[in-house]
């Protein structure tokens, strides 16, 4: 199917007229977006159908990636690119006097995730399809995504993100594949005359799960996989029982918003409902699909891999048990063997508060049959392990503990594989967080360092850089990322370095224009662009960054004639609505921005820009323009990070603690080409263990630090209402949980090293080039290949030499 420009033009005009009943010349940008999206969806639909059919025909094992979050980003450009028709479309639209770029901007960016975990899921979808691996996503079609963030007087305000307002052109509502999900009521087991127990239910809340399927387009390989997002509705046959909106609410709320406020009982219950809803619908539809393979049920693990992305979908384990026993009538032992072989689990965090635990009473009431199964899994686990491992290990690894269901324990016990997401993180899981499990099941543990798709984050986000790499080393790196290392050969080539520097400057100019447009702040594109973009969290330490900015500000004020390397500090971050401290940090940074940006003594030497509503589309604009990527979490706290990889791949130098995947980045790029500072994970553990850290002492003895900290509360920063004092108190009086003050000095030193290097542009650009050329190991194509080979045991289904073939790492 080779589309020509002329064919596109004719078909597009017809498409537009069919949809809107007037000529394309009269269309709005939104209408063009809709028409173009539908055009592309029609174009790919044959591949979508054929991919699905070919997997069944070949009896292919399929992966189902269960995730409560996906952050796919806009899909128009990405789909056209992967299909190989982007340039044709662009050319055709230009001939029609339309701008592809403006049309693409009209797409809503689905914020169905919080951050790294959801974006990882979407990078994985892209790599699965591009590697010709049968891999599907399973998640929730939240009617409103994560909130839209606005700043009012520097404070974060959350408003609903109505991303479906203008219709989602990519999804297909699939009425054929709906499932029924039951909540609450009473359940009991009754022996029947066929020789097994039957589960009987009464007074349940029945919810219809309706799948919306979205194509996940592979890179130039004619493969289109499926992302299935579920929506909750009233079962058709029960419609007559529902009369008012209030009566419908318990159903419609299930898929209304992502992460409802879980600080109260009602909110938590809703979240648990969401988890089971997604899991039950997903597992039911997988088992139904499995029947098409016509093989015995014992072969389920040869045909299906269910991946549990963090603990949120861990109820897939008891749900699969339920279906295999109650509906497929297998015995407990048969069902358990299949379940364990089918399921695998990724841990994403060591933060205690993020390790899910559900009150037993809540689980029992909402999911009575599932709770019965969990109780039995736990009973058998304890019975088996008590004599072998003794009291301490057994009780510490049990699923039911002190009135709660420990979801991480359920996930580990019910899976054949448990992985962390960077080497250090996996080590910490094995030596600390899941250490007792590591003793029981050492063979289950493995590391799979996260990755990113270069297609979205380099090829599309940074077309000039991509064209330069193509020109220098050919295009093979796009299908085989390891080739990118050939680019290292140009580190001494002056002409190439000039080109890399010019591309960065162009990207910075574009971002500078955008900053002026949306924030009204003028920034100098030749200043060093220093970027920290990620969720706002105390462990990620945006406040350390803020202290450094304050330090710079005070230095310039004290020494106005001293030459400084001008910097633009750029932030993007949402805080959880109920996370007060994170919101205080946002307010403080916004107020520092007001102070700095409006001080005539400061001019271009220092600017601070905090973008509203950080998300994938904003990331695509910021990342290609970054000179420094801030990865400054307290060592041991960040599982992997992925913005670090995206920034590096676009030539930013990393300012980093030895945390998460920063360590691997340092190893690949070399320690001369990264700025490392701060405590190591071991030092952090030691300081915590011997309780010797006294942050107040640092405040009292370090004059530089004291000046900066005092500025938080002495009126230097205008517009604060106690937020600066709150941060001051946490750092000085409440002993600084995340060792911000302890790392401050070495952070400032590292930042000074960065200034000195930036003053030597060629040297800086050489390191930037080395970062670009060393980024291939962080391609999600490799990560997915490892999951496929080691955990899922799924194959790539090539029909020729098309697609991505990351063979020689
Ligand atoms: N949010 C978005 C939109 C992203 O693209 C990323 C980057 O990977 C993240 C959050 C996660 O950032 P980090 O890995 O720095 O926490």
Write out pLDDT tens, residues 149-175.
Answer: 999 999 999 999 999 998 999 999 999
Active site residue 448: no
Write out pLDDT tens, residues 215-260.
Answer: 999 999 999 999 999 999 999 999 999 999 999 999 999 999 997 6
Looking at the chain, the whole-number percentage of residues with pLDDT higher than 90 is: 95
Please say if the pLDDT value at position 624 is more than 90: yes
pLDDT of residue 313: 98
Q: Which token pair is 151?
A: 């700043």
Would you give the DSSP letter of residue 791? I
Please check whether residue 540 is in contact with residue 534, taking contact to mean a CB–CB distance below 8 angstroms.
yes
The residues, ordered by sequence, that sit 6+ positions from 514 with a Cβ below 8 Å of its Cβ are 621
pLDDT of residue 353: 78
For 314-458, list the strands marked E by DSSP.
343-346, 357-359, 400-401, 404-406, 417-420, 445-447
Active-site choice (534, 605, 607, 785): 534
Please check whether residue 5 is in contact with residue 92, taking contact to mean a CB–CB distance below 8 angstroms.
yes
Mutate to test the pocket of ligand 1, among 78, 574, 619 (most ligand atoms within 8 A of CB): 619
Write out pLDDT tens, residues 47-84.
Answer: 999 999 999 999 999 999 999 999 999 999 999 999 99
**Ligand 1 touching residue 71 (CB < 6 A):** yes
Active site residue 540: yes
What is the C-alpha separation between 37 and 504, in angstroms, rounded?
31
- Distance from Cα 726 to the centre of ligand 1, integer Å: 27
pLDDT band at 462 (very low <50, low <70, confident <90, very high): very high
What is the C-alpha separation between 768 and 648, in angstroms, rounded?
8
452 CA: nearest ligand 1 atom: 8
pLDDT of residue 339: 98
Place of tokens 């500025």: 711
Q: Which token pair is 65?
A: 């990636």
What is the C-alpha separation between 521 and 38, in angstroms, rounded?
38
The residues, ordered by sequence, that sit 6+ positions from 540 with a Cβ below 8 Å of its Cβ are 534, 632, 633, 637, 638
C-alpha count within 13 angstroms, C-beta hemisphere, residue 149 = 25
How far CA 432 is from CA of 354, 381, 439, 581, in Å, comes to 16, 21, 11, 27
Active site residue 646: yes
- Distance from Cα 641 to the centre of ligand 1, integer Å: 7
**Ligand 1 touching residue 643 (CB < 6 A):** yes
CATH topology of domain 59-74+109-450: Rossmann fold (3.40.50)
Q: Helices 723-732 and 580-597 meet at what angle, rounded to 10?
A: 120
What is the C-alpha separation between 564 and 754, in angstroms, rounded?
12
Rg of the Cα trace of the chain?
27
pLDDT of residue 195: 80
Active site residue 348: yes
Handedness of CA 573, 579, 585, 586 (dihedral sign): positive
pLDDT of residue 806: 57
In 3-state terms the chain splits into helix, strand, coil percentages (rounded to 5) of 55, 15, 30
What is the C-alpha separation between 431 and 409, in angstroms, rounded?
16
Would you give the DSSP letter of residue 222? S
Would you give the DSSP letter of residue 749? H
Please say if the pLDDT value at position 265 is more than 80: no
The pTM is what? 0.97
What is the C-alpha separation between 529 and 570, in angstroms, rounded?
7
- Distance from Cα 658 to the centre of ligand 1, integer Å: 18
Q: Which protein residue has the closest C-alpha to ligand 1 atom 10?
A: 115
Largest CA distance in the chain: 93
Nearest residue to 70 (alpha-carbon basis) of 212, 203, 207: 212
- Does 804 or 434 have the greater pLDDT score? 434
Please say if the pLDDT value at position 267 is more than 80: no
DSSP string, 571-586: EE----TT-HHHHHHH
What is the C-alpha separation between 128 and 224, in angstroms, rounded?
10
What is the C-alpha separation between 657 and 636, in angstroms, rounded?
9
How far CA 135 is from CA of 113, 275, 285, 788, in Å, comes to 20, 21, 14, 10
pLDDT of residue 1: 59
- Distance from Cα 643 to the centre of ligand 1, integer Å: 5
Would you give the DSSP letter of residue 733? T
What is the C-alpha separation between 454 and 469, in angstroms, rounded?
13
Question: Residue ranges of the domains in the chain?
Answer: 59-74+109-450, 479-778
Q: Which runs of consecutive H residues, i.e. helices, occur in 228-315?
A: 245-252, 265-290, 300-303
What is the C-alpha separation between 441 and 417, in angstroms, rounded?
9
Please check whether residue 15 is in contact with residue 38, taking contact to mean a CB–CB distance below 8 angstroms.
yes
Mutate to test the pocket of ligand 1, among 531, 534, 536 (most ligand atoms within 8 A of CB): 534
Would you give the DSSP letter of residue 174? -
pLDDT of residue 193: 87
615 CA: nearest ligand 1 atom: 3
Please check whether residue 59 is in contact with residue 303, taking contact to mean a CB–CB distance below 8 angstroms.
yes
Please say if the pLDDT value at position 803 is more than 70: no
pLDDT of residue 688: 96
Q: Classify the phi-psi angles of 510: left when phi > 0, otherwise alpha if psi is within -120 to 50, otherwise beta.
A: alpha
Active site residue 706: no
Please check whether residue 218 is in contact with residue 132, taking contact to mean a CB–CB distance below 8 angstroms.
yes
C-alpha count within 13 angstroms, C-beta hemisphere, residue 439 = 14
3-state secondary structure of 200: strand
**Ligand 1 touching residue 641 (CB < 6 A):** yes
Please say if the pLDDT value at position 194 is more than 90: no
pLDDT of residue 259: 77
**Ligand 1 touching residue 444 (CB < 6 A):** no
The residues, ordered by sequence, that sit 6+ positions from 402 with a Cβ below 8 Å of its Cβ are none
Q: Which token pair is 391?
A: 């009291």
Mutate to test the pocket of ligand 1, among 114, 119, 458 (most ligand atoms within 8 A of CB): 119
What is the C-alpha separation between 478 and 779, in angstroms, rounded?
10
How far CA 784 is from CA of 128, 253, 339, 593, in Å, comes to 7, 34, 22, 41
Mean pLDDT (the chain) is: 96
Q: Which token pair is 639?
A: 């599982």
How far CA 495 is from CA of 469, 502, 653, 669, in Å, comes to 13, 11, 20, 22
Place of tokens 């909750």: 232
How far CA 725 is from CA of 72, 155, 710, 712, 739, in Å, comes to 39, 16, 9, 6, 18
pLDDT of residue 264: 63
Q: Which token pair is 523?
A: 């920034």
Please check whether residue 24 is in contact with residue 17, taking contact to mean a CB–CB distance below 8 angstroms.
yes
- Distance from Cα 642 to the centre of ligand 1, integer Å: 6
Would you give the DSSP letter of residue 456? I
Beta-carbon count within 10 A of 662 CB: 28
Please say if the pLDDT value at position 355 is more than 90: no
Please check whether residue 592 is in contact with residue 552, taking contact to mean a CB–CB distance below 8 angstroms.
no
Active-site choice (449, 642, 716, 765): 642
Helix H or strand E encompassing 547:
helix 542-558
Active-site choice (540, 543, 552, 605): 540
Q: Which CATH class is domain 479-778?
A: alpha beta
Please check whether residue 238 is in contact with residue 204, taking contact to mean a CB–CB distance below 8 angstroms.
no
pLDDT of residue 263: 59
Looking at the chain, the whole-number percentage of residues with pLDDT higher than 70 is: 98
pLDDT of residue 165: 92
pLDDT band at 801 (very low <50, low <70, confident <90, very high): low
End-to-end alpha-carbon separation of the chain, Å? 32
DSSP string, 143-179: SB-SPEEEEETTEEEEE---TTTT--TT-EE-GGG-E
Q: What is this model's ipTM? A: 0.90
Mutate to test the pocket of ligand 1, among 533, 539, 779 (most ligand atoms within 8 A of CB): 533
């Amino acid at each position: 199917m080779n589309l020509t420009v002329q064919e596109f033009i004719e078909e597009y005009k017809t498409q537009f007229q069919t949809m809107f009943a007037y000529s394309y010349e009269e269309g709005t940008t939104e209408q063009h977006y809709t028409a173009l999206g539908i055009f592309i969806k029609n174009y790919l639909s044959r591949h979508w159908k054929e991919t699905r059919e070919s997997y069944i025909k070949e009896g292919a094992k399929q992966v189902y990636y269960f995730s409560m979050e996906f952050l796919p980003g806009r899909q128009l450009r990405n789909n056209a690119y992967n299909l190989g028709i982007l340039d044709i479309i662009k050319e055709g639209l230009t001939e029609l006097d339309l701008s592809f770029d403006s049309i693409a901007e009209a797409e809503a960016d689905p914020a169905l995730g919080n951050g790294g975990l959801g974006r990882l899921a979407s990078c994985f979808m892209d790599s699965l399809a591009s590697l010709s691996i049968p891999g599907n996503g399973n998640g929730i079609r939240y009617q409103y995504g994560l909130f839209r963030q606005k700043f009012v007087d520097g404070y974060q305000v959350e408003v609903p993100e109505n991303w479906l307002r203008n219709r989602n052109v990519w999804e297909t509502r699939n009425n054929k594949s709906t499932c029924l999900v039951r909540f609450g009521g009473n359940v009991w087991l009754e022996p029947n005359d066929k020789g097994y127990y039957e589960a009987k239910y009464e007074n349940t809340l029945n919810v219809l799960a309706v799948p919306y399927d979205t194509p996940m387009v592979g890179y130039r390989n004619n493969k289109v996989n499926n992302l299935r997002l579920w929506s909750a509705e009233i079962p058709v046959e029960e419609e007559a029982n529902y009369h008012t909106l209030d009566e419908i609410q318990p159903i419609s709320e299930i898929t209304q918003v992502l992460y409802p406020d879980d600080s109260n009982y009602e909110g938590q219950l809703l979240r648990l409902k969401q988890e089971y809803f997604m899991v039950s619908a997903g597992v039911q539809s997988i088992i139904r699909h499995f029947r098409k393979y016509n093989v015995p049920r014992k072969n389920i693990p040869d045909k299906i891999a269910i991946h549990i992305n963090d603990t949120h979908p861990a109820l897939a384990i008891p749900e699969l048990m339920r279906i295999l026993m109650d509906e497929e009538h297998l015995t407990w032992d048969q069902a358990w063997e299949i379940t364990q072989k089918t399921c695998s689990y990724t841990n994403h965090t060591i933060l205690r508060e993020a390790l899910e635990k559900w009150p037993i009473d809540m689980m029992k009431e909402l999911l009575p049959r599932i709770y019965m199964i969990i109780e039995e899994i736990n009973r058998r686990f304890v019975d088996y392990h008590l004599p072998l491992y003794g009291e301490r290990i057994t009780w510490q690894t049990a699923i039911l503990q002190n009135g709660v269901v420990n979801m991480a324990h359920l996930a580990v016990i019910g899976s054949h594989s448990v992985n962390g997401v960077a080497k250090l993180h996996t080590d910490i899981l094995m030596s600390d967080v899941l250490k007792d499990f590591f003793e029981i099941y050492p063979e289950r543990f493995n590391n799979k360092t996260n990755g990113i798709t270069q297609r979205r984050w380099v090829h599309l986000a940074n077309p000039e850089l991509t064209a330069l790499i193509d020109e220098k080393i050919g295009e093979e790196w796009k299908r085989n990322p390891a080739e990118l290392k050939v680019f290292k050969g140009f580190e001494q080539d002056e002409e190439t370095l000039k080109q890399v520097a010019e591309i960065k400057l162009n990207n910075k100019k574009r971002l500078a224009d955008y900053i002026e447009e949306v924030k009204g702040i003028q920034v100098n594109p030749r200043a060093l662009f220093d970027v920290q973009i990620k969720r706002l969290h105390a462990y990620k330490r945006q406040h350390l960054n803020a202290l450094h900015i304050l330090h710079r500000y005070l230095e310039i004020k004290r020494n106005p004639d001293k030459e400084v390397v001008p910097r633009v500090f750029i932030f993007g971050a949402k805080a959880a609505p109920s996370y007060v401290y994170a919101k205080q940090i946002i307010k403080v940074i916004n107020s520092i921005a007001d102070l700095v940006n409006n001080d005539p003594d400061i001019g271009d030497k220092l600017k601070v820009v905090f973008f509203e509503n950080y998300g994938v589309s904003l990331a695509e604009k910021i990342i290609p323009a970054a000179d420094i990527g801030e990865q400054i979490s307290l060592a041991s706290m960040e599982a992997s990070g992925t913005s670090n990889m995206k920034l590096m791949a676009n030539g930013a130098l990393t300012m980093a603690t030895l945390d998460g995947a920063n360590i691997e980045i340092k190893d690949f790029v070399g320690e001369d080409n990264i700025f490392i500072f701060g405590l190591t994970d071991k030092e952090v553990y030691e300081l915590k263990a011997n309780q010797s850290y006294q942050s107040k002492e640092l405040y009292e003895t370090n004059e530089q630090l004291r000046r900066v900290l005092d500025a938080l509360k002495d009126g230097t920063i205008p517009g604060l209402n106690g937020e600066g004092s709150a941060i001051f108190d946490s750092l000085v009086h409440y002993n600084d949980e995340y060792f911000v003050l302890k790392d401050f000095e070495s952070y400032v030193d590292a930042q000074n090293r960065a200034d000195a290097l930036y003053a030597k542009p060629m040297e800086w650009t050489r390191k930037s080039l080395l970062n670009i050329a060393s980024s291939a190991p962080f391609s999600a194509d490799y990560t997915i290949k490892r999951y496929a080979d080691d955990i899922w045991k799924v194959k790539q289904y090539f029909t020729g030499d098309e697609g991505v073939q990351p063979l020689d790492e």
